[in-house]
Amino acid sequence: MLSRTGMKLAGCALLGLTALACGGKAWASDAVPDWVTAAAAEKSPAGNAKAVVLLEDRLLEVDAAGKIRLRTRMVVRIVRPQGREYARPIAYMRSDRKLLSFHVWSISPDGHPFKVKDNQIVEAGSEEWGILYDDVRFRTAEVPGADPGGVVAWESTVEEPLYSGETDWEFQGEIPQVRSVFEADLPAGWQYRALWCRHPSVAPTEVAPNHWRWEVRDVPGIHLDDIPLAPSDESLMGRMTLHYAASPLPDGPALWSRIGDWYLPLAEPKTEAPSEIATESRQLVSPDADFLDRVDKVSTFLQQQIRYVGIEIGVGGYIPHAATDTYRNRYGDCKDKATLLLAMLNAVGVRGTWVMVDTERGVVDAETPSLIGNHMIAAIEIPKGYENPRMKAVVTAKNGQRYLIFDPTNEYVPAGLIPAYLQGGVGILMAGAGTEAVTLPVLGPETSTTERTAEFELGTDGSLKGDVKVERFGSLASGMRRLYTMHDQKETRESLEKSLRSDFPEFDVTSQKTGDVRTLEKPFAVEYGVSVPGYARQAGNFLLLRPRVLGSDAMAIGDAPRALPIEFSGLEERKDTFTVKLPAGYSVDEVPEPVHLETDFATYDSSVEVKSGEVVYHRDYRLKKLELAAGDYATLEKLEGAINADENRSAVLKKP
């Protein structure tokens, strides 16, 4: 896992720290600094925010000898009890990032000032899924007066080596920010480029020779958990990326080459591999084999034999371990797995490079060169003139070179495709001076499919029993493959039963089996038997049967006014064929009319046919666009309403 900002956005292990921090609650009742008092006098913006950042103030000092120092000041007002989480003072450090100072103050709701003593500040390690060891640590404290109406403030100063010559100022978050300031004190003669993303450019003030100051005010918070089909919070948040160097800097997108020139000399030596890696690769596949066969064999090895585990020290958040270490240890994080993949492909005559991406679509911006991504994947060079219909995830660089994009960290999406969370995003194709931002392909709905087929028998009492087969392929299959790989039979059965509860108030799963989880080039099948009492409703001599027995294509969306774009997880196609054998003595009196719905982003068709004492339901749903404008929300609402109505229509069966 990479960091978006050079330091882990770790899930901090704060549980239990309160007890450590409050051993002796003798907080100093000292006056708070003037900058805290001034910020506390700011009015909170109107709205229902849980907390408000009154001041975020960062000072970057760059030393020509190769050090940077960052002083951060934060002042947060708690508005609601749930806002305490935003007022947790925290300062990160690691082996190459020295924490020089950390101070915490607060002002209680009744106006009483406090200063947290040094012996009340605790230190702990960060936690993140899949990371075995990370030298990132943090300091924090329990703060007096941290209640609604109270103000919490802290100041930290860290020092670390100058690596890439880039600092990201992320001045927008989940809660509103009244005032945000960023200053950069650069050595004499140094240059800078300030790039603004999702916020109007702000001109700086030169407060001293080559000391620059930017300020933004009244930045709204972005928290979209309650908005259906919303983009990620991070993809909408404003930021400024500052590049700085002693040598001349290019303008705009040309800065991508500077990023590549910094990264490749650090990463390329890690692909140097001993003979054991070459031997392993050539045992998997011959260097003379078909191109995609070579990619398949090596990628499958990475997916099945190399576990995702990270050990990150210092700048290890960006720089991979040696391919040799990853191969011998049989584990590594995303950049380690990409590096070993490149080394093994190289041994069988296939070249490639790294692509930095973000798992939240829209975070990486093609017009804002930055190391903002949090994930590393691979771009595999496709030989000139080579074609294969399985290769869907293809991009073409500005020089005409085609690349097959592949994520070796994802164990459940085969080479030729990419996971839905990467589609439509932007990646940084690392190619030295030729480094560029590439838009990752959006794969068609035929690459991510679900097909449900079932044979049922209906009893005279309305009971239903039968066998169901669900086949998933591509990105849609990855979640189910992971479920049936990582969990036992009891857990997978519970998952199946949970999904069926939305279709039946009462049921019994009578059997369950699965296909091959690891053969990614083929659909993954789950088969089960189900018995449902009282499925068809009796009305005198009639039975009312819902032909759409199970599985819903309708999405639950609200009717609130829409201002944000609409974003789906990925394009897909779903097909249903359900056959229901009628009970003896019953015939079909009426069936729903066929339905055809079509918009520029989706199509939906359903029909019911009667043949040989059976009712057969067919349905096909295709989602054709990944993103929609906010103005399309009314059309989406109408479509979903029509799908929901169709799903709940009934056929009428009668008994003479």
pLDDT value of residue 47: 83
Q: How far is Cα 411 from Cα 337, in angstroms, rounded to an integer?
A: 11
Q: pLDDT category, 1, cuts 50, 70, 90?
A: low
Residue 311 has pLDDT above 80, yes or no: no
* Strand-pair partners of 404: 380, 394
Amino acid identity for residue 556 in this structure: A
Give the C-alpha separation, 9 to 603, whole Å.
40
Among the listed residues 476, 464, 473, 475, the one whose alpha carbon sits nearest the alpha carbon of residue 500: 464
Note whether 69 and 158 are within 8 A (CB): yes
Q: Please state the pTM of the whole predicted model.
A: 0.91
Q: How far is Cα 94 from Cα 96, in angstroms, rounded to an integer?
A: 6
**Mean pLDDT over the full length of the chain:** 91
Cβ neighbours of residue 39 closer than 8 Å, sequence gap 6 or more: 54, 55, 75, 151, 153, 178, 179
CB 448 within 8 A of CB 420: yes
Specify the pLDDT at position 466.
97
CATH annotation of 34-246: 2.60.40.3140
Q: What share of the chain is helix, strand, coil (3-state, %, to 5)?
A: 20, 35, 40
Sign of the four-CA dihedral 440, 443, 447, 452: positive
Any alpha helices (H) in 226-379, and if so which ranges?
Answer: 255-267, 275-284, 291-305, 323-329, 334-347
Which pLDDT tens digit goes with each residue over 369-402? 999 999 999 999 999 999 999 999 999 999 999 9
Give the dihedral sign, CA 558/562/567/572: positive
Three-state secondary structure readout of 364-389: CCCCCCCCCCCEEEEEEECCCCCCCC
State the pLDDT confidence band at 127, using cuts at 50, 70 and 90: low
pLDDT at 2: 59
- Tokens of residue 205, six digits: 């003030």
The 10s digit of each residue's pLDDT in 520-576 is 999 999 999 999 999 999 988 899 999 999 999 998 888 888 999 999 999 999 999
Band of the pLDDT at 253, cuts 50, 70, 90? confident
* pLDDT tens column, 511-528: 999 999 989 999 999 999
Per-residue pLDDT, 274: 84
How many other C-beta atoms can be found within 10 angstroms of the C-beta atom of residue 476?
21
Count Cβ atoms below 10 Å from residue 652 Cβ, excluding itself.
Answer: 14
Q: Is 446-654 assigned to CATH 2.60.120.1130?
A: yes
| Domain pair 254-442 / 446-654, same fold | no
**501: Cβ–Cβ under 8 A, 6 or more apart, which residues?**
none
Other C-beta atoms within 10 Å of 116: how many?
22
**What are the extents of the domains in the chain?**
34-246, 254-442, 446-654
Percent residues over pLDDT 90 in the chain: 83
Question: Collapsing DSSP states into helix, strand and coil, what is residue 318?
Answer: coil
Cβ-count burial 538-551 (b if 16+ within 10 Å, e if not): eeeebbbbbbbbbb
State residue 225's pLDDT score.
81
Q: Could you tell me what percent of the chain has a pLDDT over 70?
A: 93
**Cβ proximity of 606 and 619 under 8 Å:** yes
| Tens digit of each residue's pLDDT (9 = 90 or more) over 193-242 | 999 999 999 999 999 999 999 999 999 999 888 899 999 999 999 999 99
Q: Which CATH architecture has domain 254-442?
A: Roll (3.10)
d(CA 556, CA 554): 7
Cα distance from N-terminal residue to C-terminal residue, the chain: 67
- Model pLDDT, residue 20: 37
Q: What gap in Å lies between CA 421 and CA 362, rounded to an integer? A: 10
pLDDT tens readout for residues 391-443: 999 999 999 999 999 999 999 999 999 999 999 999 999 999 999 999 999 99
Question: Does residue 143 surpass a pLDDT of 80?
Answer: yes
Kindly calculate the radius of gyration of the chain based on its CA atoms and give it in whole angstroms. 29
Neighbours of 467 (CB within 10 A): 15
Distance from C-alpha of 537 to C-alpha of 543, rounded to nearest angstrom: 6
Longest alpha-carbon distance in the chain: 97
Report the pLDDT averaged over residues 591-618: 96
What contacts 22, CB < 8 A, 6 or more positions away?
120, 142
